[in-house]
């Protein structure tokens, strides 16, 4: 029994959910809004499970046609759902993790809208979240590059909307455009990537004659390899934009301006993995051109290491995780670049589990700090009920330097965070160990030595910054009175965390070496993949590196916990190198100097010189207005108007005047002269009549 | 019976005297009398021709003319009184306020 006909519902359930909340949400309570949205996402998950079950029964690529979209000549693009093992894997991850995050967000946003004093935005948040699930489902279920692109842009829009969710403030709630600027930055960086994607798409249609996956893959082997290289590399530009790879990764750290469930869902677990999915989906193209594969693998590996070094120097709990996400996406891109598609997808899934877990736990920590802050504010001034905001100093609840010792006040969050941290660090037997190890094993086996070492060092840094983070946040003594008063989150937030923690611990079973469930599952879609080999020496090296990194982090941050106001111990040891890490290697400043400022210069030149001086002052004022004035003054005024029309009118007036001057003498007022005139007239007329 | 020519000649003489009177005299009363003279010259011509042709229309016109003449004198004398009240003079040569 198969359920392929249900495929469109993966999109329609979230759409129905968001429409319900848009139309009726005004009358719903927060609980109903959250339930509707979670139910919409949950039903999409149920459909995804049914589809996965159907694929297992019927292991062929199924296309479920839904609607015609564009039919122009040879261009035929339909909205067709492609249900195969790869797309159902993505559907399960998106809707599964998505549903958990929806449930978590009910609790999170309940408090977030209260801390930021705008209760109405609760509904808006869930509308956007459901819209995101719908767009992501279109992305992963599309049957052609064009449908994939529709979803690709849809998730980009949702990302923009949700990063700028608190658009009129910065991350600390102060009035500023910082959040909306972060949203714009993400949107613009993604436009650069989308430009690459579009060029790849156009080349594909021009040279291979279709956008449809199977048609493109069938035409590719006989096409000019140069074209395939161009297509795959332009596609890599799109991947770099969406999956935050060098050189377009800069938007993702700023995207942390969005509420934490957004960071977890969009900027860690699902949307940013769309690039990895795109490369995996295009595997038949990439495997044709090894040189492109090499470039993809190197991009991923360099990004993995580069971002990991920056994560070491960050103080914001979410910024560390953001750079960690970039780094882990680098692992995935490197894996799929090498052709280790299973390893890449495996890491995508486990990363979705543990990174969503880490972000949501970080959100729980931040809210715990907010609660502590609120608690203190209430106790400091008993009379201050309405104006408590005024005497508070600006306090950053996400700054790890303000935390410390939270394991006592937030035990549940601590334990799940620990599970996520061990999974991300790649400690046996957590999920991250198996997936990361498979990538490293493939790299060493396939002869990508450089990639292997870059990734191995990145893995070392990963374990180090995660150790640093956990030690700074949960161990030692509270470095701020707020941290001492932090409170644990309610069950609606911690329950999804526990589920994700379980998945992070057990996720390795998905593709356990020797059993290779995921490999044989994906083999339906990608017939050329083979199961990865478990290599003991690679596993030992990476485990050793991870444990060493955790030990080093304990030496620095655990043995002597950070004191209030004390600089980071690494600062003394590394000096300027740490300053570079702390300041993200000044990449944003470099981009500003090289691209943004130059762009502003060009815009200013165009506005001031070309538009104003040339078009306005010269062309419009001088040429057009001047010519017009000259024409009216010389040609019309002097000749036609004054000497023509005016002259005639004046002549007519003068003639009338002189005529009346001449005849007015006749009317002298004397009755007798009139009588004489009458008489003479009569005599004249009679004389004429008589004598004629 | 006298030929009609004599009546017409008399009528012409009377009309000429009347016209000259209108043109020459300055006293409006005399001018009115001259106008009467001209009108009666016309009456004489009407009556003469009517009797000569044996028709009644001419005779009827005489009555009309006499009626009009009476009305004209009445209006004219009223105007003269009004003018005299405002200008304390009825010299026709002083009345040129309507010149162009």
Q: Where are the domains of chain A?
A: 298-309+340-377+397-579, 589-661
Cross-chain Cβ contact A679/B97 below 8 Å: no
Cross-strand bridge partners of residue A81: A64, A142
CA distances from A585 to A130, A309, A326, A588, A589 (A): 36, 9, 15, 8, 9
> Exposure of A29 by Cβ count < 10 A (0-12 exposed, 13-18 middle, 19+ buried)?
exposed
Cross-chain Cβ contact A668/B95 below 8 Å: no
Element (H, E) at A203: helix A178-208
Cross-chain Cβ contact A679/B19 below 8 Å: yes
- Decide if B22 contacts A680 (C-beta within 8 A): no
> In A293-332, which positions are buried (b, 16+ CB within 10 angstroms) versus exposed (e)?
bebbbbbbbbbbbbbbbbbbbbbbbbbbbbbbbbbbbbbb
Nearest to A422, CA basis, from A312, A352, A501: A501
pLDDT of residue A380: 66
Element (H, E) at A62: strand A62-72
Cross-chain Cβ contact A665/B100 below 8 Å: yes
Determine the length of chain A: 692
State how far residue A652 is from chain B, nearest Cα, in angstroms: 21
Whole-angstrom Cα distance, residue A76 to residue A214?
13
Nearest to A510, CA basis, from A340, A353, A675, A286: A353
Element (H, E) at A63: strand A62-72
Window 637-676 of A: residues touching B by CB (8 A cutoff) are 663-672, 675-676
Residues of A in contact with B23 (CB under 8 A): 672, 675-676, 679
The structure tokens listed for A199 are 């060029």
Q: Is the pLDDT of residue A415 over 90?
A: yes
pLDDT digit string (tens) for A161-213? Answer: 999 999 999 888 888 899 999 999 999 999 999 999 999 999 999 999 899 99
Range scoring the smallest mean pLDDT among A189-198, A254-263, A385-394:
A385-394
Cross-strand bridge partners of residue A241: none
Task: Kindly state whether A689 is in contact with chain B, defined as any CB-CB distance less than 8 angstroms.
Answer: no
pLDDT digit string (tens) for B40-57? Answer: 999 999 999 998 898 888
Average pLDDT over residues A58-74: 87
Average pLDDT over residues B3-11: 91
pLDDT of residue A527: 82
Task: Work out the percent of chain A whose per-residue pLDDT is above 90.
Answer: 67
pLDDT of residue A383: 46
Determine the length of chain B: 100
Element (H, E) at A194: helix A178-208
> What distance separates the 2 farthest-apart alpha carbons in chain A?
151
Residues of B in contact with A678 (CB under 8 A): none
pLDDT of residue A580: 86
Cross-chain Cβ contact A664/B95 below 8 Å: no
pLDDT of residue A381: 54
Of A586 and A393, which is predicted with more confidence?
Answer: A586
pLDDT confidence tier of residue A392, bands split at 50, 70 and 90 = low
pLDDT of residue A431: 92
Q: Is the pLDDT of residue A386 over 60?
A: no
- Contacting A with CB below 8 Å, chain B residues are 19, 22-23, 31, 92-93, 95-100
Q: Is the pLDDT of residue A389 over 70?
A: no
Q: Cβ contacts of residue B36 below 8 Å, gap of 6+?
A: B18, B69, B73
Is the bond preceding A312 in cis, omega lying within 30 degrees of 0?
Answer: no
Percentage helix, strand, coil for chain A under 3-state DSSP, each rounded to 5:
75, 5, 20
Would the ipTM clear 0.95, i.e. be above it?
no
Residue reference for tokens 């156009």: A202
Average pLDDT over residues A501-516: 88
> What distance separates the 2 farthest-apart alpha carbons in chain B?
53
Cross-chain Cβ contact A671/B23 below 8 Å: no
Cross-chain Cβ contact A669/B98 below 8 Å: yes
pLDDT of residue A91: 95
Total CB pairs under 8 A between chain A and B: 32
Cross-chain Cβ contact B100/A666 below 8 Å: yes
pLDDT of residue A387: 45
Query: Which residue among A664, A672, A679 places its CB closest to the CB of B100?
Result: A664
pLDDT confidence tier of residue A388, bands split at 50, 70 and 90 = very low
With 0.80 as the threshold, say if the pTM is over it: no
- What domains are there in chain B, each with its CATH number? 4-89 (1.10.287.3510)
pLDDT confidence tier of residue A385, bands split at 50, 70 and 90 = very low
State how far residue A627 is from chain B, nearest Cα, in angstroms: 52
Residue of A nearest to B91 (CA): A670
Cross-chain Cβ contact A665/B98 below 8 Å: no
> In A163-197, which positions are buried (b, 16+ CB within 10 angstroms) versus exposed (e)?
bbbbbebbbebeeeebbbbbbbbbbebbebbbebb
Q: How many helices (H) and strands (E) does chain B have?
A: 3, 0
**End-to-end Cα separation, chain A, in angstroms:** 129
pLDDT of residue A348: 95
**End-to-end Cα separation, chain B, in angstroms:** 53
- Decide if A423 contacts A430 (C-beta within 8 A): yes
State how far residue A631 is from chain B, nearest Cα, in angstroms: 47
Range scoring the smallest mean pLDDT among A63-77, A128-142, A677-691:
A63-77
- Decide if A410 contacts A361 (C-beta within 8 A): no
Query: Which residue among B19, B22, B96 places its CB closest to the CB of A669?
Result: B96
Nearest to A171, CA basis, from A396, A480, A392: A396
Cross-chain Cβ contact A679/B99 below 8 Å: no
- Decide if A83 contacts A53 (C-beta within 8 A): no
Residues of B in contact with A666 (CB under 8 A): 100
Residue of A nearest to B95 (CA): A670
Whole-angstrom Cα distance, residue A431 to residue B20?
144
Cross-chain Cβ contact B92/A668 below 8 Å: no
Cross-chain Cβ contact A672/B98 below 8 Å: no
Q: Is the pLDDT of residue A472 over 50?
A: yes
Strand pairing report for A75-83 and A62-72: antiparallel
Q: Is the pLDDT of residue A306 over 70?
A: yes
pLDDT confidence tier of residue A277, bands split at 50, 70 and 90 = very high
Other beta carbons within 10 angstroms of residue A651's beta carbon come to 10
- Decide if B92 contacts B83 (C-beta within 8 A): no
Average pLDDT, chain A: 90
Q: Is the pLDDT of residue A612 over 70?
A: yes
- Decide if A485 contacts A334 (C-beta within 8 A): no
Cross-chain Cβ contact B22/A672 below 8 Å: yes
State how far residue B97 is from chain A, nearest Cα, in angstroms: 6
Q: What is the 3-state secondary structure (H, E, C) of A589-655?
A: HHHHHHHHHHHHHHHHHHHHHHHHHHHHHHHHHHHHHHHHHHHHHHHHHHHHHHHHHHHHHHHHHHH
The structure tokens listed for A86 are 């790869």
Whole-angstrom Cα distance, residue A589 to residue A584?
9
Q: Is the pLDDT of residue A639 over 80?
A: no
Nearest to A484, CA basis, from A565, A406, A379: A406
Average pLDDT over residues A468-476: 92
Helix (H, G, I), strand (E, B) or coil at A212: strand
Average pLDDT over residues A664-683: 87
pLDDT digit string (tens) for A437-468? Answer: 999 999 998 889 999 999 999 999 999 999 99
């Amino acid at each position: 029994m198969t359920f392929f006909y249900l495929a469109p519902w993966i999109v329609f359930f979230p759409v129905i959910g968001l429409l319900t909340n848009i139309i009726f949400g005004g009358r719903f309570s927060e609980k109903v809004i959250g339930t509707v949205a979670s139910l919409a996402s949950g039903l999409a998950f149920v459909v995804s499970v049914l589809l996965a079950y159907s694929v297992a029964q019927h292991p062929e690529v199924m296309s479920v046609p839904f609607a015609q979209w564009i039919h122009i000549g040879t261009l035929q693009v339909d909205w067709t759902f492609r249900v195969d093992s790869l797309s159902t894997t993505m559907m399960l991850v998106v809707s599964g993790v998505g549903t958990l995050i929806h449930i978590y967000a009910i609790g999170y946003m309940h408090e977030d809208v209260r801390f930021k004093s705008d209760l109405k935005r609760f509904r808006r948040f869930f509308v956007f979240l459901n819209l995101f699930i719908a767009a992501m489902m279109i992305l992963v279920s599309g049957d052609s590059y064009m449908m994939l692109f529709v979803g690709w842009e849809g998730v980009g829009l949702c990302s923009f909307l949700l990063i700028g969710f608190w658009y009129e403030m910065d991350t600390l709630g102060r009035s500023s455009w910082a959040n909306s600027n972060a949203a714009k930055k993400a949107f613009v960086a993604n436009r650069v990537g989308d430009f690459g994607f579009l060029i790849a798409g156009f080349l594909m249609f021009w040279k291979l004659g279709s956008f449809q996956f199977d048609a493109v893959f069938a035409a590719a082997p006989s096409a000019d390899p140069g074209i395939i290289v161009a297509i795959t590399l332009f596609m890599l530009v799109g991947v770099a934009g969406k999956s935050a790879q060098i050189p377009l990764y800069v938007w993702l750290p700023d995207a942390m301006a969005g509420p934490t469930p957004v960071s977890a869902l969009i900027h860690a677990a699902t949307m940013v993995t769309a690039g990895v999915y795109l490369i995996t989906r295009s595997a038949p193209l990439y495997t044709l051109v090894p040189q492109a594969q090499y470039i993809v693998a190197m991009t991923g590996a360099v990004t993995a290491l580069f971002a990991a070094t920056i994560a070491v120097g960050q103080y914001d709990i979410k910024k560390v995780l953001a750079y960690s996400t970039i780094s882990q996406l680098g692992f995935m891109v490197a894996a799929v670049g090498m052709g280790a598609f299973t390893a890449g997808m495996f890491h995508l899934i486990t990363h979705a589990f543990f990174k969503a877990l880490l972000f949501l736990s970080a959100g729980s920590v931040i809210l715990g700090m907010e609660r502590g802050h609120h608690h203190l504010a209430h106790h400091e001034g008993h009379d201050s009920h309405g104006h408590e905001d005024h005497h508070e100093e600006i306090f950053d609840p996400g700054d790890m330097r303000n935390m410390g010792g939270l394991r006592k006040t937030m035990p549940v969050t601590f334990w799940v965070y620990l599970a996520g941290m061990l999974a991300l660090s790649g400690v046996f037997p957590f999920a991250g160990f198996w997936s990361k190890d498979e990538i490293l094993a493939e790299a060493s086996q396939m002869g990508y030595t450089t990639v292997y070492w870059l990734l191995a060092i990145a893995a070392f840094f990963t374990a180090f910054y995660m150790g640093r983070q956990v030690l700074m946040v949960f161990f030692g003594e509270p470095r701020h009175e707020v941290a001492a008063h932090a409170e644990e989150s309610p069950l609606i937030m911690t329950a999804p965390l526990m589920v994700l923690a379980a998945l992070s611990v057990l996720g390795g079973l998905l593709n356990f070496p020797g059993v290779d469930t995921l490999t044989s599952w994906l083999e339906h879609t990608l017939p050329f993949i083979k199961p990865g080999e478990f290599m003991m020496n690679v596993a030992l090296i990476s485990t050793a590196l991870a444990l060493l990194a955790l030990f080093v982090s304990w030496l620095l941050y655990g043995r002597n916990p950070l004191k209030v106001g004390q600089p980071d111990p690494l600062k003394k040891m590394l000096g300027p190198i740490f300053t570079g890490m702390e300041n993200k290697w000044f990449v944003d400043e470099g981009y500003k100097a090289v691209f943004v400022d130059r762009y502003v210069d060009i815009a200013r030149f165009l506005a001031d010189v070309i538009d104003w001086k040339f078009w306005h002052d010269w062309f419009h004022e001088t040429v057009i207005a001047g010519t017009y004035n000259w024409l009216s003054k010389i040609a019309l005024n002097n000749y036609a108007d004054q000497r023509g029309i005016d002259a005639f009118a004046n002549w007519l007036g003068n003639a009338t005047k002189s005529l009346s001057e001449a005849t007015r003498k006749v009317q002298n007022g004397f009755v007798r002269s009139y009588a004489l005139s009458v008489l003479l007239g009569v005599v004249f007329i009679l004389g004429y009549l008589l004598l004629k | 019976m006298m030929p009609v020519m004599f009546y017409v000649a008399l009528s012409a003489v009377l009309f000429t005297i009347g016209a000259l009177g209108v043109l020459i005299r300055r006293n409006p009363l005399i001018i009115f009398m001259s106008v009467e003279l001209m009108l009666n010259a016309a009456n004489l011509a009407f009556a003469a021709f009517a009797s000569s042709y044996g028709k009644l229309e001419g005779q009827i016109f005489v009555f009309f003319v006499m009626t009009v003449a009476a009305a004209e004198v009445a209006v004219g004398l009223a105007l003269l009184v009004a003018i005299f009240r405002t200008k304390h003079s009825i010299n026709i040569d002083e009345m040129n306020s309507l010149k162009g």
